[in-house]
Amino acid sequence: MKAFNTIPAGILQAGMVCGLPLDVFIAGDSAGVKAVVGRLVASAGMHPIDCGPLRRARELEAVMLLILGLQAQATGTSPTEAVALKLLPELRPGTRHGAPLHRGGVGG
């Protein structure tokens, strides 16, 4: 199970960046465990995204390195204005921000 590692602690505590709820990437081999973590993420007002099996953890770690590098370049930002990765759902009639990106996703 891998989750939360792409979000620095201060940003995670705030739960959002620039007024948008955080995306929390989740990877794991147990659908049941991912569903529990997805519900925890959603109950905290954040957006769970199922990234697939645990073997995707390596890619999530690389994403974190990118975010840390960008964060190091951002000077004078507060945790709620800091760097975070945000995926937006496809813009089409009837969708809303925070809607699952695919059917059957984590916590859905």
Residue 92 scores a pLDDT above 90? no
pLDDT mean over 58-74: 82
Among 97, 19, 27, 25, smallest CA distance to 66 is for 25
Q: Is the pLDDT of residue 77 over 90?
A: no
Measured at the alpha carbon of residue 92, what is the angle toward residues 89 and 97, in degrees to the nearest 5? 35
Q: How far apart are CA 27 and CA 52, in angstroms?
A: 5
Dihedral sign, CA of 88, 101, 53, 31? positive
**Residue 48 backbone dihedrals phi, psi, to 5 degrees:** -75, 140
Average pLDDT score over residue span 35-59: 93
Lowest-confidence region among 2-6, 36-40, 89-93, 96-100: 96-100
Q: Show the DSSP H helices in the chain as ranges.
A: 9-14, 31-43, 57-73
What's this model's pTM, rounded to 2 decimal places?
0.70
Q: Given pLDDT bands bounded at 50, 70 and 90, which one contains residue 70?
A: confident
